[in-house]
């Protein structure tokens, strides 16, 4: 009898490692997709797939990189609705340029942040509500700048020294799906997912770089990760929607 039980237990353990554990509470996923509008011809393939699968995502825009062509393309996507008739994509502030915020003083950070906000508002006709610094590089000045703008509610991947009294919701629930920038990898993600579930994490923020998914293998790895999460009954939510949901 013992010889039969051991292989069974090993099989169950391997199944968990390969396929993942179920979250104890409903699992929510924020797709933090960076660096729009870089290489939109590649990025739009990702957005089209998300639309096909009715998967919500947040799109981080580098404001100074917007031009007439990329603005028109992004307008097309930000107007798309989910099956529930809500916005499928949320545009969030990813900086005026792709530069590290801690390299600048509070005054310089504030000027760049506000200028980026104004550009996106003028070009895309929307007010952003979330910020994620380029390179995830932030400091206490960054948190101060974001919290001083009443339109902003969410700060993603903020440093540990951000002021605790800030009204901003700080999302640091990062679970890596890319094994190196722009390299989604299913097995790598499942390993990180299982570690997060073991810690009872019910919200996961997955950072991706769609403009770098320029091969069939990268796209297939990304799709496999998404299908895995769908099979786990995870729900996809945008940063602002998550903020509003938790404030009900």
Q: Which of 25-39, 43-57, 155-169 has the lowest mean pLDDT?
A: 155-169
The pLDDT assigned to 89 comes to 97
Domain tally, the chain: 1
Which band of pLDDT confidence, cut at 50, 70 and 90, is reported for residue 19? low
Within a domain: residue 14? no
Within a domain: residue 19? no
Give the model confidence (pLDDT) of 60-88 as tens digits: 999 999 999 999 999 999 999 988 888 99
The pLDDT assigned to 167 comes to 79
Give the model confidence (pLDDT) of 28-41 as tens digits: 999 999 999 999 99
Which band of pLDDT confidence, cut at 50, 70 and 90, is reported for residue 163? low
Average pLDDT, stretch 222-233?
A: 97
Domain that holds residue 121: 24-246
Within a domain: residue 168? yes
Q: What is the C-alpha to C-alpha distance for residues 63 and 40, in angstroms, rounded to an integer?
A: 14
Within a domain: residue 7? no
Give the model confidence (pLDDT) of 100-137 as tens digits: 888 899 999 999 999 999 999 999 999 999 999 999 98
Within a domain: residue 98? yes
- Cβ atoms of 167 and 190 closer than 8 Å: no
**Residue by residue, what is the 3-state secondary structure of 126-139?**
CCCCEEECHHHCCC
Within a domain: residue 18? no
Buried b (16+ CB within 10 A) or exposed e, 152-188: bbbbbbbbeebeeebebbbbebbbbbbeeeebbbbeb
Within a domain: residue 5? no
Within a domain: residue 102? yes
- Give CA torsion, residues 50, 199, 156, 235, to 10 deg: 30
Is pLDDT above 60 for 18? no
The pLDDT assigned to 161 comes to 61
**CA neighbor of 142 nearest in space, from 100, 90, 87:** 100
User: Domain holding 147: CATH number?
Assistant: 3.20.20.370
Is pLDDT above 80 for 171? yes
Is pLDDT above 90 for 51? yes
Sign of CA dihedral 116, 121, 122, 126: positive
């Amino acid at each position: 009898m013992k010889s039969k039980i051991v292989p069974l237990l090993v099989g169950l353990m391997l199944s968990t490692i390969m396929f993942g554990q179920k979250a104890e509470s409903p699992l929510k996923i924020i797709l933090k997709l960076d660096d729009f509008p870089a290489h939109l011809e590649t990025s739009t393939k990702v957005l089209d797939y998300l639309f096909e699968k009715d998967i919500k995502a947040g799109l981080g825009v580098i404001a100074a990189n917007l031009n007439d062509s990329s603005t028109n393309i992004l307008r097309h996507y930000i107007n798309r609705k989910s099956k529930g008739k809500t916005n499928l994509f949320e545009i969030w502030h990813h900086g005026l340029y792709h530069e590290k915020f801690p390299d600048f003083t509070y005054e310089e950070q504030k000027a760049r942040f506000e200028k980026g906000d104004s550009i996106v508002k003028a070009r895309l006709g929307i007010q952003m509500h979330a910020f994620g610094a380029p390179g995830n590089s932030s400091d206490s000045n960054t948190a101060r700048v974001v919290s001083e703008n009443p339109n902003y509610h969410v700060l993603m991947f903020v440093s540990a020294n951000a002021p605790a009294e800030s009204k901003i919701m700080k999302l640091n629930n990062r679970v890596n799906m890319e094994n190196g920038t722009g390299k989604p990898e299913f097995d790598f993600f499942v390993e990180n997912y299982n570690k997060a579930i073991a810690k009872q994490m019910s919200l996961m923020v997955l950072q991706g770089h769609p403009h770098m998914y320029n091969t069939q293998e990268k796209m297939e790895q990304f799709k496999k990760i998404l299908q895995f999460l769908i099979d786990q009954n995870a729900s996809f939510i945008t940063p602002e929607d998550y903020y509003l949901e938790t404030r009900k």
